[in-house]
Amino acid sequence: MSMIWNTLNELKKSFIEKFDQTGYRIEEPGMKRFNQTGWTNLVWCGEDYRRAHVSVVDATESKKLWMMHVCIHPYADNASPIYGFDVVAGKNKCTGVFLDYSPAIKEDLPIYSFLKEAAKENEWKRERELPDWGKEIFSDHMIAIGNVSEDETKNISEIAQKSLYFYLNNIILYEVKENESLFDEIDASHQRYAINQKKNIHTPKVLVSLGLNETDVKDFIETCLFPNQ
């Protein structure tokens, strides 16, 4: 197995271990259908987040590709951003890596400092221009790069782990239980996130290219990948 796939499989394990430590696994209605050979979907609920999802498609044998999607939604009484990490990797490079704390409210909260510092410390040579739907939901400090080498993958893996730990360690700081006027704004932002993510034309194309059934992919994106919260 390639070094890139080894690195990403270790990253997958670290995500799962962290969610097992901070939450409990749940069986979402309809999700069982999308746990198949080479396709894993796990969902957690925790004291500090209402949904964490890890989706991995391992098509390294059949398509020489590997993909992981990670997303964390806070509760509606928490102004923390939505955490998102996505990677698609071939044997010798990652074709796409995306990491963001996507804002729930427009305040510049201190939690965003992690991505700001990561952007300063790394010179991403192949930054990607965001589509219009992405500009609606992603932060100004999002990491979005392609053609990522083996060494860069190791660096990205470390940043992804640190970003997750930082996020989970700080999410509790942004509860707004005493400010119910923000609940609707936060809930609307979560809905907007799901709606705009579903506009990504590349998501179904990538999943189908990995060998997944087209009907399964369509239903998965609509009901389980980005469910209306």
pLDDT tens by residue, 1-57: 699 999 999 999 999 999 999 999 999 999 999 999 999 999 999 999 999 999 999
Ordered domains of the chain (ranges, CATH): 3-225 (3.40.1500.20)
Q: Are 163 and 99 contacting, i.e. CB atoms less than 8 angstroms apart?
A: yes
Q: Is the pLDDT of residue 128 over 90?
A: no
C-alpha triplet 119, 164, 57: angle, nearest 5°: 100
| Better-predicted residue by pLDDT, 101 or 126 | 101
Residue whose C-alpha is closest to residue 159's, from 129, 119, 110, 102: 119
pLDDT tens figures, 175-226: 988 888 889 999 999 999 999 999 999 999 999 999 999 999 999 999 999 9
Residue with tokens 């991505």: 115
Q: Is 39 left (phi over 0), alpha (psi -120 to 50) or beta?
A: beta
In 3D space, the residue among 66, 19, 18, 77 whose CA is nearest the CA of residue 43 turns out to be 19
CA 162 to mean position of chain CA atoms: 14
The answer for residues whose C-beta is within 8 angstroms of residue 209's C-beta and 6 or more apart is 63, 65
Q: Is 75 a residue whose pLDDT tops 60?
A: yes
What pLDDT was estimated at residue 145? 87
Report whether pLDDT(78) > 90: yes
Mean pLDDT for the chain? 91
What's the pLDDT score for residue 122?
A: 67
Q: Which among 205, 181, 203, 174 has a CA at the least distance from the CA of 82?
A: 174
Q: CB–CB of 87/145 below 8 Å?
A: no
> What's the pLDDT at 130?
79
Q: DSSP H helical segments within 23-141, as ranges?
A: 113-121, 132-135
CA distance 188 to 34: 27
Q: How confident is the model at residue 229 (pLDDT cuts 50, 70, 90)?
A: low
Task: Decide: 94 and 4 in contact? Cβ < 8 Å.
Answer: yes
- The answer to whether the pTM exceeds 0.85 is yes
Query: Longest C-alpha distance within the chain, in Å?
Result: 52
The first and second tokens of residue 95, run together, are 């074709």
The answer to whether residues 49 and 198 touch, using CB atoms and an 8 Å cutoff, is no
- Looking at residue 106, its pLDDT comes to 75
Q: Please, which pLDDT band fits residue 123 given cuts at 50, 70 and 90?
A: low
CA distance 164 to 222: 25
